[in-house]
Amino acid sequence: MIRGGFVLTIANTLIKTLRVGVAGGALVLTLAACGSTEWGFPYRPHIQQGNWITAEQVARLEPGMSREQVRFLLGTPTLQDVFRSDRWDYPYYNKPGYGDPEQRRFSVWFEGDTLVRWEGDAQPERQPFQSHDTGRSATAENDRSAPAESTPTSTAQDAEPLR
């Protein structure tokens, strides 16, 4: 009887070891499968580089603008070629963690200090922080009957100086 109990103990130990091995293997396969889908594991950050320019900013460009006016309107250019100081480039690149990358280019040319021409890819209508579905059309937002902000004008009365 002692001999049969010894064999039974070894068989139970072997079965427990086999169960743990199978469970561990299943866990490893499950975790490996999670990493190959778009579940967010492992984390893949969005990579965004360059200048975000809207179609409204491009529409406000006018030939004859100074460099400072263009810089105020579009922002500081990402690329300024040392050998061609008459051209400013505004590239934009966005590679989401999952999905297709997006790339846009926009360039402006100067003669001296004066804007001559510009060209590039079609630019988006909105900034990335703006809601994509407001329920209103773009013209409805601009045609609101809300009073416009204005700078106060001086009156004929003498105002008391601020203290």
- Arithmetic mean of pLDDT over the chain: 77
Sequence spans of domains, the chain: 53-126
In angstroms, rounded to a whole number, what is the distance separating the alpha carbons of residues 20 and 136?
Answer: 60
* pLDDT per position as a tens digit, 117-140: 999 888 888 877 775 655 555 555
* pLDDT per position as a tens digit, 98-116: 788 889 999 999 998 999 9
The answer, yes or no, to whether residue 61 has pLDDT greater than 70, is: yes
pTM for this one?
0.54
The CATH classification number of 53-126 equals 3.30.1450
Mean pLDDT of 49-70: 90
At 107 the pLDDT is 92
